[in-house]
Structure 1
Amino acid sequence: MASANHQSFNIHEWMTMFNYIPEPILITELNADGSMTIVGANRSAVIHSGYSRNELLRMTPEDIIDKKVWDQLNDIDLLMDKKSLKLESVHVQKDGSKIPVSVNVQLVELDNNRTIIINSYRDISDKKDIQTLLETTDQQLQSLFIYNPDIIFMLDQKGNFININPASEKILKYNSNELLQKNYTDIIHADDLERTNREFNIILNKQTVQTKLKVIDHFSQTLQLDLTAVPIIVDNEVEGVIGVARDITEEGKIKEKLQISEQRYRSLLENNIDAVLSFDLQGRFTYVNKATEQMMGYTEDELKGKPFIDYIVPEEKERTINEYNKVLNGNANQYETCMLNKQKVRVYLHVTIIPIMVEGDITGVHCIGKDITESKQFEEKLNYMAYHDYLTQLPNQYYFHSKLNETIKIAKQNNTQFSIFFIDLDRFKIINDSLGHDYGDILLKNVANRLKSFADDNASIFRYGGDEFIILAENTKQEEVTEYVKALMKLLVKPYELDGMDIVATPSIGISMYPADGKDQETLMKKADNAMYFAKRMGKSNYQFYRDSINSKITGNIGMESLLRKAIDRNEFSLFYQPQIETKTNRIYGAEALIRWHNEKLGMVSPGEFIPLAEETGLIVPIGEWVIKEACRQNIAWQNAGFNCFPVSVNLSIRQFYQTDLTETIKRIIQDSGLDPQFLELEITESMAMDSETSSVILKDLKNLGVKIAMDDFGTGYSSLSNLKKFPIDHLKIDQSFVKDISADVDDRDIVATIIMLAHNLHIKTIAEGVETIDHVEFLTKHDCNVLQGYYFSKPLPAQDFENWMNNWKKQ
């Protein structure tokens, strides 16, 4: 027998063989403090990791194992006890890619008290043992069955229980032996039994049923269940029913159907009307049912292997990850989130996630997603409606107060300033009353659109109510606010086009500033409102910063209103008369009656102060009626005294004009006074007649009484030629704003000449107001203006002084 000479290998040869072992091998040393360092790596390990050998020898196992996996695998005590382990891990290569590996770990204790760990591993990315996969799948399904907090049960074709999960025992208070001897009809409440029997037959015909029903537990207590039941189909034959039921007696939340077994339980997953999904430990899709494909718009193949977090909307990613990670600790969890489907449309979900347990380890996650988009959208719509104005879509008053509170807190914290602009449209009520609410709504929308276009990043726009808007401008100083409000005024005074008409609705703006004018919401709003109110009192179409003196003036207006209400009874009103002279004859053509108020406490009050207050409070109606009565009485008195007969004109307010009993009231006054109606003239403004159809009816009714009609301030409003032709107008009064500069302004001369020509073409006489100089008289006479009125002839005079003036005029 031949013998062989055996020669031992030297260390270099051993290292060469180690280096060329085809399996990657890493050798780590266990240090006394429990830490590990890499002390050896073969050529395959270098290739597999992407690191050089020198780089690996400066690293620890924790550097190349995925952190989530390292936290689960770093169990030294287990290794010391068993000496060798076989496990799955995830290695992180130098380029950051993650590779799943199967690892054999062997602990070796050397003679020199050194402990070495030999780690050999292989890439299992593309290879899985079929039997292991089936066993794992079965264990996953079993874990779904065992750990599900909802009832899961199986019935045979006769309705007898053949399998139940632990949750069924807990919720129904029966043990498994008791339930497995019962038929489903034994526990259904009598109220629902007939319907449940019909639904059971529907399932046996291969259809899915989702229903709510009442059952009786072991202690005769009634429970309300939300049930989904599907047929168990094997080889295309229905063998029974499998169902998932959630106890909604107290919770009121739906849990979805879960997979039970590879073939029988597959029916539950595939036929579920809600999304059922499975993820691996890295949150990557491993399974989705058809409902998921329909909901997301992706096929299962498109989703498999991709992280679910990529489909969550950005603002929900962090919270969703935090909620999802709870299941990795072995606990089921429920939460709401939102994802984007393939069409980039948001889908809101109520999610139930359940850990997949295999041999005590979590190997993945089951997820059931209920589409709650419709209810979320309804909830968001209700929330939007609560905090936004339906007409302009601007944030409303409730939103403003919430935003203001937040702004105050931020300003206090950062020691910054902000300002509140309280905006009120000056002529909105006139426009709304005369043109109608539809036009008023269009105007408000146009104003809102201008404000939106004007606002910058620091400004928020709100519709506060009615014709009131608010701008909340953050981080502003007074000098900046002044420039800001000037630009705002310039924008808002421009006309708005409403159905072919150019409408002007100027703003009155009040401004308060934090912290100078107040440090709380109530004070800031009150002062902004007071400043706006003062802006109106200053002639409208302007802005005012709040100052302390405003408050006393506002308080004064409240006192003035009280006195104004008593003025008629106290006989405090009087009429002044300004003559109107016919250009061709130089005779008295008529007179305009102008109201004056003398109060014992306030003295002589300017009409510019009390008329707007009377209009605002509605007192203008009884005051206006008094003016007509007094004008008729005085005219009769002059006629009885032997003066020539001429018409006296009085101004109608918009409130009077649209009073339903206006015609009857004037008819009664004329009859009571005995005045021939031709000697009463009623003046209206262009803006009052914007609703041409209604105005035309009113004017014709008045004209039928025999009175004269004049359109006052012509040229400043919005009358169209077609409207003038409809109206029974006797006189056009040319506004004094055009007359005063005709000596120097070519445009004003052209406008006045055009108005005169227009009126004559329509067979209407013209009256020019504001005639103060001989130049005015000569120009207007030259252009055939019929009647002149102004300080050139006389200022407005009390009745007795006016009589004296008439006597003197006759002598000229």
Structure 2
Amino acid sequence: MNIGRQPFEAIWNGLSLAAWLVDASTLQILQANEAAARLVGRRAVDMEGMPILELAATPEDQIYWSQANTDIAAGIHSHSWVRNIRSGALVPVDRCVLAIHAPTVTDAVRCLLLTMQDRSEHEASRLELEALLSELRATLDSAADGVLTCNLHGQMRAFNQRLVHIWQVPHELLLRRDDAAIWAHMEDQVLDSEAYRVRRTAIAHEPMRESADILRLRNGMTVEQRSVPQFIRGRPAGRVYSFRDITQQSAVQADLRLAARVYESSLDAIFIADKHNAIVRINAACERLLGASVAGVIGQVAARLFAPTQNHCAFMSGVQQAWQQEGFWEGELRLRQGDDGQCSVHLSWVALRDDEGTVNQSIGFMRDLTQQQAAKQRIEELAYSDVLTGLPNGLLLAKKVAAAIDASRAIGDSFAILFLDLDRFKIVNDSLGHSFGDRVLKLVAERLQRCLRQSDMLCRSGGDEFVIHLHGADAGVAEAVARRMLDEMQYPFMLDGMEFSVQCSIGLSLFPQDGGSFEELIKQADTAMYQVKERGRGSYGFYQPQMNANLLSRMKMEHAMRQALGLGHVLVHYQPQVEIATGRIVGAEALARWTDPELGAVSPGTFIPLAEESGFIVTLGAWVMEQSIKEAAYWMSCGTPLVVSVNVSALEFRQAGFVERITALLGRYQLPAQQLELELTESVLLHDAQEMEQVLAALTSMGLKLAIDDFGTGYSSLAYLKKLAIHRLKIDRTFVSGLPDDEGDRAIVQAVVSMGRALGFSVVAEGVETQAQRLALHDMGCEYYQGYLCAPALPAAEFRARTAGPAADSKRVLQRASCLLPAAER
């Protein structure tokens, strides 16, 4: 039947189903109805001639419309998605493709009819149903009780995760869904398995019966099992079991029974009062503490047991306020005992509320504090006083200073803190013993106390350090007290028939200009005291802000120095040592050079003392020693063997295993011992002389050479030169700089050279910068020199380059090198 175009249009556009006519050969849209236009958000006329692929919103649709025409013509009916270009949303649809003859076109043209039914509401309903089911399942799994539903035949239909947890059902049983195996597992978990099996059978035979049982499981859990019939549409359909873990509740019941026994046997006194605060019960300990019979206490208002400083009504008002805020009141009170006695007790009075929150009972716990208060008083005495001297200690001083700071905010008063340290007191302890030193500290404390007013406080903070708080003192008063203390300490001490002197150094800080807290004032006074010690001890000094800046700078430099070694910022340079007569290089002194990215080139005169003071010199010296031995071994392998001289600090030299470490390094780098020279200062040789003599003997027996560095600048004791195996003396640059004109320098240098030659030592002059100095040294018989006249300390690579070549060329090379130096360096 052929339908006219107008009736077709009316039917076509009246369809609620979205429809498109598609050319079967070109796959272009021939016509679309209004429902299609609404579905995809395009006008129907705009879609005419558009490739159907433009409507494909999913990869599956694109694959379908890309098939052969014959496959497309076979049609499809499936769920899919189409995009509404106005909203940008993907719309779920029921899609159908059919091959037809279009009624409005030539019969020879085969068309495809594409229809889409909007499934948005259906999809939303499905998702809502899935969400509801998921929510119901999540609710079931979140239940505190384990739940199990069975049909009338006892077959399991559903259970939640709590049931799995309570019964500890293995995962493999859950996967198998073997009801008989799960029931058997549950029976096995019950301590009395046989009784549980009988009970479950009885429940199964009475489908309308409700039951409740208490089960004790092998894992220690106590479970309450309840079962009720399940009805669906008013008819019994199965049974619902619920399992609740009541282990804690059972324990609570047991605890309550235990609490009753504890109440009766407690050593603490306990009373129970009613809602009117009248005592209704006391335990035996309370009866003993009160010294009264139970009959004489029951019915009495609890507050009247005590003797508070305020009246009983005011006391109870405070108790009830604490109950309202925290649920309990606690504090120390005086408890009446018998007729006239009293004792201190600690009372914890707890309010007990009913379900409406009303206090209907209260319970009080009392502990006798008589012995505790006596012990506390003794502890406070010990906590706030120095055991040795009896002076206040740091804790009490901190409290006093804190009170002074609070008071000063009100009245604007000032005060001073003095930090006093006894100079070289370690010598007293080391020579005469700590017991003698402790007695000296008592004498010192007595003298210092005589210099103070009653309002001041002297405190021993530890060791040989004392801290003084000067009440209301300004700078003038503080200085006068410091002078008086120094003068008092000038007088000799007498103990056990021995007369001796003890001096001190004092640092002063002032409140408020030097700090706003006790810690700051102590720190600043301590800093000032250390500045006094660095200036020579035995004096006093006020804190200056620059002191902390210097300490901070010193701390930063020490940190940078410790990092520099690992970062490669420290290198070993080598300064040639030259034979004066021939100009031949005979050795080199190893010198550490530090170049920091921020600080630049740091002078050895700056970082070496810092390394010695901080102890880092041990690590630095060990590293320089290894680098120097390694470099000397390289020189030997190149055919230019030279003696390398390495400075050893006193701290490094006294380290345990020093000789063994040198031996190990020589062995590792295969350097003969005679190619290594250790440069020691005179201080190394004077401390623990006997022990040092043994170490030096061990080193020289290996073949090492020993040199005394900076000879003449230290103690210049000649005794060790005779006893120790010294090979060389080094004349300090301070004596060389005045040559040849300074008569004093000439005399000193000549004396050192002559003494060295007489004792069989070679002599090296340091810091030679001019030819005139070299000639003067040559005339006096000095054999070797080092200094800028030859070369400064050079990096390893540059030193190798300058010493390369035949030995005969060394003099010429060095002369040329010295000429290349700027005049200021030469």
TM-score normalised per structure 2: 0.40
Q: Which has the larger radius of gyration?
A: 2
TM-score normalised per structure 1: 0.41
